[in-house]
Amino acid sequence: MTVPSPLDDAQLQYEASPYPPRDPRDEAIRLITGTPSHILEINHYLFSGRLNFNRPFRALIAGGGTGDACIMLAQQLAERKCPAEIVYLDVSETARRICEARAHARGLRNIHFLTGSLLDLPAADVGAFDYIDCTGVLHHLPDPAAGLRALSSVLQPDGGVGVMLFGQYGRSGVYPLQELLRTLAPPTMAVEDRVAIAKRLIRFLPTTNLFRRNPYLNDHVTGGDAGLYDLLLQNCDRAFTVPQISALAQQAGLRVVAFLEPVRYEPATYMSDPVIARQASALPMLERAAFAERLSGNLRTHVFYATRAGFDTVARPEDTSAIPVLREMDAQKFAAGLQHGTPLVANLDGFPWRAQLPALAARIVAQIDGRRSVAEIYTSLGALGGLPRWEDFYTQFEDLYVKLNGVNHMLLRFRP
């Protein structure tokens, strides 16, 4: 594939200052894991937990940037000895070099690097993919729908995508500030001057300004100058609501199967009035998600999985041969922390979430080893004495699953 010429403003900026900034030397000390594209999530949401890692698996990381998703997935597939090929694609040579250096530092040999635009995929000879990651890219394209259609054109019929797009309500305050900066610091100015003016403007915003009143926008602080540019100086940047995402997916022949983390997309998370919570909770999944984003107002990004398959691709706990897996957590330590009825708490971008876990939570969690199924966990609890009735156990397991899966701690898989 060839780099489209000339590069547009956003592409030139990513070329000059790849985002997010990453140092390949850090691979020696940690693996960055995230959402989407964690192998446990791909398996759970797009392949019903039934991926067979002995079979070939092809993934495309479209707009791979400095490589977080690419490195995470390549590492996870390598650890499972999967005969996988990850294709990394980005218009930026600089970003590609950083991802290549990260792969080299880890000794990963399952990545094939390409430079070019994802818009050229339909005509490119790249084959079909089981999975495509595209995070933080489509909302910078002049026509995001054309971008998603281009990705869908190289997806296997039963394949799926993991996408991150900006969220409209949570980015409240961003777009008026972007417009101010288009007047004060137009794209014709040098990038350093534009960044300097943006910093001055932010420092002196009136207390009533929407950007200043949105405390959850912090990329300009945590991401340095590249983060500031990405948040405020992109020429092409738009944000989406849940219904708009659903429509975008449909135009590309895709169906949204989940938004992550699930608890953020449940109205009951934010609503203590039982009548309103019950009414909203009865809605279908996409309507609940749309209700939740309007209610919470703080969803700055939307991560979703969507599939081309015409059948249910999400692993469900009703099949008791499901194997619960804890994500990046030590089951014994977690179980120890759950003794004495300690509630599960999470900070959902400023919203304090708290869930009471069932009485058996600590005992169940202590039995989760990524190999035992739900039915086998019940049997091993029995071996430890004081076996509850199956119905009681299963009701409590389901309650625990909904809460832990809700904050992305627990996923399911099946033996292939």
Is 412 within 8 Å of 315 (Cβ atoms)? yes
Q: How far is the CB of 129 from ligand SAM (least distance, A)?
A: 15
**How far is 292 from 283, CA to CA, in rounded Å?**
11
Taking the least distance from each CB to ligand SAM, the nearer of 19 and 397 is: 19
Sequence-distant (6+) residues with CB within 8 A of 269 are 263, 292, 296, 348, 351, 353, 406
Q: With binding defined as CB under 6 A, does residue 162 bind ligand SAM?
A: no
Q: Would you give the end-to-end CA distance of the chain in angstroms?
A: 36
Could you say which residues in the range 125-144 bind ligand SAM, by CB under 6 A?
A: 135-137, 140-141
The strand pairing partners of 305, in sequence order, are 162, 258
Residue 119 or residue 177: which is nearer to ligand SAM going by CB?
Answer: 119
Contacts for 236 with CB less than 8 Å, ≥ 6 apart: 8, 9, 10, 140, 141, 142
Query: How many residues does this entry show for the chain?
Result: 416
Distance CA 26, CA 105 (A): 9
Q: Which is nearer to ligand SAM, 34 or 56 (CB)?
A: 34
Region binding ligand SAM by CB under 6 A among candidate stretches 14-22, 250-258, 281-289, 371-379? 14-22
412 - beta bridge partners? 324
- How many residues make contact with ligand SAM (CB under 6 A)? 23
What's the Cα-to-Cα distance from 153 to each of 46, 122, 150, 264, 313, rounded to whole Å?
17, 6, 5, 30, 20
The residue within the footprint of ligand SAM, chosen from 74, 111, 119, 364 (CB under 6 A), is: 119
- Residue of 82, 95, 181, 290 that binds ligand SAM (CB under 6 A): 95
Q: Please, which of residues 63-92 interact with ligand SAM by CB under 6 A?
A: 63-65, 68, 89-92
Segment interacting with ligand SAM (CB under 6 A) among 59-67, 236-244, 328-336, 369-377? 59-67
Q: Using the rule CB under 6 A, which residue among 1, 9, 20, 216 binds ligand SAM?
A: 20
Interface residue with ligand SAM among 117, 168, 307, 373 (CB under 6 A) is 117
Q: Which residue is nearest to ligand SAM (CB)?
A: 65
Only one of the segments 52-60, 62-70, 327-335, 342-350 lies at the binding site for ligand SAM (rule: CB under 6 A); that segment is 62-70
As to burial, measured by CB atoms within 10 angstroms (0-12 exposed, 13-18 middle, 19+ buried), residue 285 is middle
Residue 284 tokens read as 């279908």
Residue 92 CB, shortest distance to ligand SAM, in Å, is: 4
CB-nearer residue toward ligand SAM: 95 or 132 = 95
Q: Which residues bind ligand SAM (CB under 6 A)?
A: 11, 14, 18-20, 63-65, 68, 89-92, 95, 117-119, 135-137, 140-141, 230
